[in-house]
Amino acid sequence: MRGAPRTVGGRAVRPVLVAVIAVGIAIAGAGTAGAAESGAVGAAPEQVTPPGAIPVGCGTATKDLAAVVAAAPSGATVKVCPGTYTGTITLTKPITLLGARAGVDARTGRTDLRAESVVDGKGGSGFTVAGGVSNVRIDGFTISNATQTKGASTGGVLAVNRGSGITITNNVITRFSFGVNMNSNGQVASAVTRNRFAENNGEGGQAGVFLCCGTANNLTISDNLFTGHDGDAAAAVNTAGDPASWSTGLRIERNQSIDDATFAVVTNVDGLVVAHNQVVRRPTATTGVGTGILVGGATKNVKVTGNVLTDGARNGISVTQDFSPVRNTGLTVNTNTVVNRLNGIRLVDQTSGTISGNTVAQSTGTGILLEGAANSGVTVTGNRSFQNAVSDCTDQSKGTGTAGTANTWTGNLGVRSTPPGLCRLF
């Protein structure tokens, strides 16, 4: 019976698996607890307008957010009190926008709209950053779309005109084509952090954060909650960028993804780090089934490390050429934990890369799979792969490497491998 204790050669396998599953249960529980907490309601917090800030919707102050933003001087701070502000807000200069919940983490709580500054795109986008504008901060809003215009591609925040110093933080962003659609020239660091992205599945998009139409340099996407991006092509984060000029200085770290079709689609990047993210597909999630982390070609020196992926009907981590024939080079996939996916870690048509120190368990297919005859020059070392339904380690290539494959396998722990000798208990 799958999951039962197993002893091979006198060595118990179960303790490794129990520890791995415990990690997955803890993550799923944390996601559920966060969702329950987010249902809490409360009175609107007292609003304090910082010295020198321009108030909107506070007491007798105007409620015309678009007009205030248009008239504000460069570098101004605008304080927006609770209320609903409709239409797209266009930012044409450096500016700081502080919603009613500025500084308040959006990942839990934050569902009582009476306490929120709500920007409703009314079928359009929420905020748009104009061409070349840098040094913008959007902090503490609920950005939503009560209705979607058929055929329209919309974003909670659109910042695709090659500025930098864009900070999007502490916002709830929902019901757009893209939660955030942006790029950055990298002159000043940009950040997307402590936001909750939910169900951004509108036409022409289906992503929490989509990096588009230019490089996304010197950008960190961290400590966000993504949930319910479940269209057929949906992803929490997609680094599509610019095939002619790859993004550098990009980090995706410490995010949580619950019931997204895919967590990260990776392409057109140099030096990207995808680290310490938690990816969960609960049994109730039945639509939009995709790979957890997909590296799809045209990448250099990508590091996928320390992520935990639990449950789901497709692969945990896949490295392919799906989006570009330009080879992935310098890839490292290490110290990840993958439990109960189709194949835990899967490589197709790769000519380099290091897969090391990962723990893979209870795959419905293979734990670590080098699929097809074209993989060569890959090093697979120091991994643990147990209780996978088909095989713990499989390499379909032929060559002068380990066990007649075209790759190097050393020090991997597992029970069953094809061909024999790729992983073993001792």
pLDDT exceeds 80 at position 14: no
pLDDT of residue 149: 61
- β-sheet bridge partners, residue 205: none
Q: Could you give the 3-state DSSP secondary structure of residue 404?
A: helix
Closest of 349, 356, 256 to residue 310, by C-alpha: 256
pLDDT of residue 30: 41
Residues 54, 48: Cα–Cα separation, whole Å: 11
pLDDT of residue 43: 53
In sequence order, what DSSP letters do the residues of 247-259 get, joined into one string? Answer: EESEEEES-EEES
- What CATH number should be reported for the domain whose range is 12-38+53-342? 2.160.20.10
Average pLDDT, the chain: 89
pLDDT exceeds 50 at position 1: no
- Mean pLDDT score, 195-221: 94
Residues 387, 391: Cα–Cα separation, whole Å: 8
Tally Cβ neighbours within 10 Å of residue 122. 15
- Domain assignments of the chain as residue spans, ordered by start: 12-38+53-342
pLDDT exceeds 50 at position 12: no
Residues 211, 157: Cα–Cα separation, whole Å: 12
Residue with tokens 């007649």: 404
Measured in whole angstroms, the distance separating CA 277 from the mean position of its chain's CA atoms is 8
Question: 245-269 as b/e, with b when 16 or more CB fall inside 10 Å?
Answer: ebbbbbbbbbbbbbbbbbbbbbbbb
Using pLDDT thresholds of 50, 70 and 90, give the confidence band for residue 419: very high
pLDDT exceeds 60 at position 25: no
- Mean pLDDT score, 44-66: 91
Using pLDDT thresholds of 50, 70 and 90, give the confidence band for residue 289: confident
Q: Note the pLDDT tens digit of each residue in 169-203.
A: 999 999 999 999 999 999 999 999 999 999 999 88
Q: Which region among 30-34, 354-358, 359-363, 371-375 has the lowest average model confidence (pLDDT)?
A: 30-34
Within 8 A by CB and 6+ apart from 37, the residues are: 108, 109
Q: Could you tell me where the beta strands, DSSP code E, fall in 132-277?
A: 136-139, 142-144, 155-159, 166-169, 172-174, 178-184, 190-193, 196-198, 207-216, 219-222, 225-227, 235-241, 247-248, 250-253, 256-258, 264-266, 269-270, 273-275
pLDDT exceeds 70 at position 341: yes
pLDDT of residue 31: 42
pLDDT of residue 286: 72
- Mean pLDDT score, 307-322: 96
pLDDT exceeds 50 at position 33: no
- Residue at 5: amino acid letter: P
Tally Cβ neighbours within 10 Å of residue 25. 11
* Element housing 76 (H / E): strand 76-80
